[in-house]
Amino acid sequence: MRIRPRTALTAAAVALAIAAGSAAAVPALAHPAPTASASTAAASTLDTAALQRTIADLPADDATAAIIRVGGRAGSWQGAAGVRDLASGQPVLADGRFRAGSVTKVLTAAVVLQLVAEHKVALNRPVQRYLPGLLPADYPPITVAQLLNHTSGLRTADGPGNPFEAQYAHRFDTTTPQQLIASATAHPLEFTPGRKQHYLNINYTVLGLLIEKVTGDSYERQVQRRILTPLGMHDTSYPGTDPHIPGPHNLGYQRTSTGLVDVTDWNLSASWAAGDVISTAADLERFTVALFSGRIVPKAQLRHMLEVPKGITMYDSTDPASYTMGLTRGVLSDGTVFYGKTGERYGYATGMGATLDAHGRIDRTLVYVVNSTDAKSFSGNPRNLPIALAALQDS
């Protein structure tokens, strides 16, 4: 059985809006009214009341906490609500660390595109040229660009299966990138490279190895040197095989048939360059502003993060492709274009992104994390879309 592919659920939801293991269950959601904090700039056109409503009732059945940061020319707003953990009922930590899931892919794509700008990697060159022997000899050429925009045709790796219980039982297992790729390439390609788009972690697992081969350094150190340190993202880290979240953080829970289970501790080595980063809302906001301002990826390469492959559809669907190199493109009902990325790990649902004006300048930014009790569900947490719409549309 395969691990269910990761999806950018909030971005997909925005697009749609256009037209138990052995662990003991934790206490139920029965605590005093949540604490909340917010700040807003004067003369803001943000719908701050709508933003506050999206998290005002926390903790609730679908989430235990949430943190939101909105910025840009329309004004700024910061809000946090819910509890740090259900046992104590202490107020949520607005600066708490969390698992950002597939937001990791934006960091990975940014490093690859930096290497492109440095002429160390070519987007149209087959990855087999950089990593000989990694893929089967009978595979056709798969370019770096096709890995970045999920049009490679590679299949997902096998794993413990989709049910939460199966994955929870293996939550402390360590999996290497080489094991994942060997599992994925034991099967034929899903489609001819470049013909379809299928969002899968395996593409970014290969890109992590590409970064290491080209730089002669570890993937994690390259992200640290190129992005985290220059931006002062001191609360962002890669846990490796360590199942713990370092520093202050809000606990994550998963809803099961027998109650809520604490899923905060989890070895995410299988996600690696595709989804294992730990961060804070403030750090991700700093990264979002720097990225869309052209301070991380040179603008000549940044354009690739804003371009969806033309003329192709999603795998097993007639829907047009929506993923760029590292991001997702969505259009709001008023025609506003939004570029962003979501990430779902058990206990945590994260989103980041921005709207741009006609000149490509930042109009508005959004970062949020919802401590979702069912973050890995197919439809995502029901708060994700309301948060995005409240943050990105004027009052």
**Residue 5: closest CA among 135, 101, 139, 97:** 101
Q: What single-letter amino acid sits at 196?
A: K
First to last CA, the chain: 46
327 Cβ contact list (under 8 Å, min separation 6): 106, 109, 305, 306, 339, 340, 341, 353
Q: Is 303 exposed, middle or buried (0-12, 13-18, 19+ CB in 10 A)?
A: middle
Ramachandran sector of residue 111 (left: φ over 0; alpha: ψ -120 to 50; beta: rest): alpha
Asked whether 3 and 159 are in contact (CB, 8 A), the reply is yes
Q: Is 102 a catalytic residue?
A: yes
Give the CA angle between residues 106, 109, 114 to the nearest 5°: 125
257 Cβ contact list (under 8 Å, min separation 6): 20
Residue 112 tokens, joined: 């690859």
274 Cβ contact list (under 8 Å, min separation 6): 6, 102, 104, 105, 108, 201, 202, 203, 204, 205, 208
**Residue 302: closest CA among 326, 337, 322, 332:** 326
Q: What single-letter amino acid sits at 50?
A: A
- Which entry of 102, 183, 269, 322 is annotated as an active-site residue? 102
How far is 344 from 255, CA to CA, in rounded Å?
Answer: 15
How far is 322 from 313, CA to CA, in rounded Å?
Answer: 9
Distances, alpha carbon 373 to alpha carbons 88, 258, 298, 368, 391, in Å: 17, 13, 38, 16, 22
Asked whether 97 and 249 are in contact (CB, 8 A), the reply is yes
Q: Which residues are catalytic?
A: 102
